[in-house]
Amino acid sequence: MKSSAILNQDNDIRTKLDPISDDTHLNITQLAVKYGYNVEEHKVITEDGYILSLHRIPCKESSKNNTVIFLMHGVLDSSDSWILQGPNNALGYIFADKGYDVWMGNARGNKYSNSHTTLGSKSSEFWKFSWEEIGVYDLPAMIDYILSITEKEKLYYVGHSQGTTTLFAMLALKPEYNAKINMMFALAPVAWMTNAKSPIFKLFNPAYKIFEYLASSINTYSSIVDIFNNIPKLVCNFLPIGCDNVLEWIIGNDYKFINAELLPVIYGHVPSGSSILQFIHYGQIYQSGRFCRFDYGPSENLAKYGDVLPPDYDLSKVNLPIILFYSTNDWLSDLQDVTQLFAKLPNVYDSYNIEMFNHIDYMYANVAKDLIYSNIIKIIEEFELINDEL
C-alpha cells in the first residue's frame, strides 16, 4: 500500500439534494446522506499503481462496538450494492445501525476506482488485469489500509460472488492474510464453475473463441462496460438465447424476491465497470473444470508459472473460518460447484442453503435481511463473545 488520502463528506450535501431524487441516479455518497448516514471516501494506492476508493459508514457513537466489517462487491458491481435496498434492508446500513464500522471496497476498473498513478483509463495497459490482480493487489491494499486507520488487528469480511473469488485467490497466494481476517462470509461463492448456467460466462468459454473475436473488433483490454453497450449483437452471434436483458443473461429471469420498484435502481448502478479479462478468466475455469490461475497459453504460462498449464489455487492455505451461503437456484454459484469448494476448504465454520435465491438476491432480495443478514450478525456476535471470554 502506498500513500493514501481521506476525503470526508460535505455536511452540506444533504441540503443540496432534492429530497425526492431518484435513487437510480445518485452516487453512494448522495444515497447515504439522503438517508441520514455519514459517509467517507478514502483513497488507497495499490502496489502496482491503481487508485482505489474505499467507502466508509462510521459506526454511530450511540451504538459503537468497534467491530470492523469489510464488504466486497461482485463482478460489474461497486460499493453501491451494499446500500441500494435502503435503510432497514441493505446490509451496509444494517451493520451501521448495529454500531459496526462499515467499509465497502471497490475493485480496480469500476466507476469509483478507474484511476492509476501513471496509466490513463483509456489505455489498454490499464485494463490488463483479471480478478487475480484484484485479489493479489487490491484486497491486501484495502485490508492493510482499513486496519491501519482503525488500529485493529483483524476485520470481518463479507464478499459477494467475485468478492469471494478474489479472497480465495488472495489467501491461496498470500496466506499471511488469513491472520488479518476474523471470519469470511461468502455470499454466492464462485470458484469452480463447471455447472454454471449463466449464458454470459458460457459466452467467454474459450471454445467460443470470444477472445479472438474481441481482439479483431475492439480494444481487447478495454472495460467490459464498452462491450455491454453493444452486447445484444455479440450475444446473439454466439449464443441461442434472447437478447433483451443483460441482467437476465447473468442470473436468469426469476425476480420473485426483489421488489419491482428496486429493479430500475439496480439497473442504474450496474454495470459499474470490469475488465474483459475478468470474464475471460471465469470462462477459462468454466471450461477447464478447475479453479486455477489465468491461462496465457503454453509459452507464456511456462515463463510465468514454470509449467505449460496454469496452476490451481491451493485452497488448503485458506484456513480462516468461512461461512457459505448458497442456493439451488443460482445460475453462477451452482450447488455442485459449491459442494466441490466446500470439500477443498479446510475450515468451513457453517453453511446455509438459501432456497430459490438467484445470484443477486443476496444483495437485493426483500427477505435477505431475515434469511442472511440476521444470521451474519448473530454469528459475529457469538464469535466476538467467545473471543472476549478467551
What confidence tens digit (pLDDT) does each residue in 360-388 have? 999 999 999 999 999 999 999 999 988 76
Mean pLDDT of 53-75: 86
Strand partners, 68: 101
pLDDT recorded at residue 41: 97
Give yes or no for residue 184 having a pLDDT over 50. Answer: yes
CATH number at residue 239: 3.40.50.1820
* C-alpha to C-alpha distance for 123 and 34, rounded to whole angstroms: 36
* Buried b / exposed e along 361-373 (16+ C-beta atoms within 10 A): bbbbbeebeebbb
First-to-last alpha carbon distance for the chain, in angstroms, is 33
Of the residues 55, 333, 359, 361, only one is catalytic, namely: 359
pLDDT confidence of residue 246: 57
Q: What is the DSSP string of 206-271?
A: GGGTHHHHHHHHS-TTSBHHHHHTTHHHHHHHH-SS--S-HHHHHH-S--TTS-GGGHHHHHHH--
Q: Is 115 a catalytic residue?
A: no
d(CA 150, CA 161): 26
> Which of 155-159, 220-224, 347-351 is predicted with the least confidence, judged by mean pLDDT?
220-224
* Cα 84 from Cα 69, distance rounded (Å): 18
Distance CA 80, CA 373 (A): 17
Please give the distance of CA 24 from its chain centroid, rounded to a whole number: 20
Domain that holds residue 17: 5-389
Distance CA 339, CA 326 (A): 10
Lowest-confidence segment of 184-193, 218-227, 306-315, 333-342 by average pLDDT: 218-227
Question: How confident is the model over 258-278, as pLDDT tens digits?
Answer: 887 888 888 888 778 888 889
Q: Which among 23, 80, 101, 330 is annotated as catalytic? A: 330
Residue 55 pairs with which residues in a beta bridge? Answer: 41, 104
Of residues 194, 199, 193, 205, the one with CA closest to residue 248: 199
Whether 161 sits among the annotated catalytic residues: the reply is yes
Which of 84-93, 178-187, 201-210, 366-375 is predicted least confidently? Answer: 201-210
Q: How many CB atoms lie within 10 A of CB 20?
A: 6
Per the prediction, the chain carries an average pLDDT of 84
Q: How far is CA 158 from CA 97, 155, 198, in A?
A: 17, 10, 23
User: What are 224-252's pLDDT values in tens digits?
Assistant: 555 554 444 454 455 444 434 556 666 66
C-beta of residue 88 within 8 angstroms of C-beta of residue 82: no
**In the Cβ-directed half-sphere of 52, how many Cα atoms lie within 13 Å?**
30
Q: Is the predicted pLDDT of residue 7 greater than 50, yes or no?
A: no
272 is catalytic: no
pTM for the structure as a whole: 0.87
pLDDT in tens, 112-144: 999 999 999 888 889 899 999 999 999 999 999
Compute the radius of gyration of the chain from its Cα atoms. Answer: 20
In this model, does residue 4 exceed pLDDT 70?
no
* Strands 322-326 vs 115-116: parallel, antiparallel or unpaired: unpaired
**Count of domains observed in the chain:** 1
Query: For 228, what's the count of Cα atoms within 13 Å in the CB-facing half-sphere?
Result: 19
What is the CB-side half-sphere exposure of residue 37 using CA atoms within 13 A? 29
**Spatial distance between the Cα atoms of 57 and 77, rounded to a whole number of angstroms:** 18
Give the separation between CA 300 and CA 321, rounded to whole angstroms: 35
Catalytic residue among 53, 81, 161, 198: 161
- Closest Cα partner for 139 from 184, 96, 189? 184
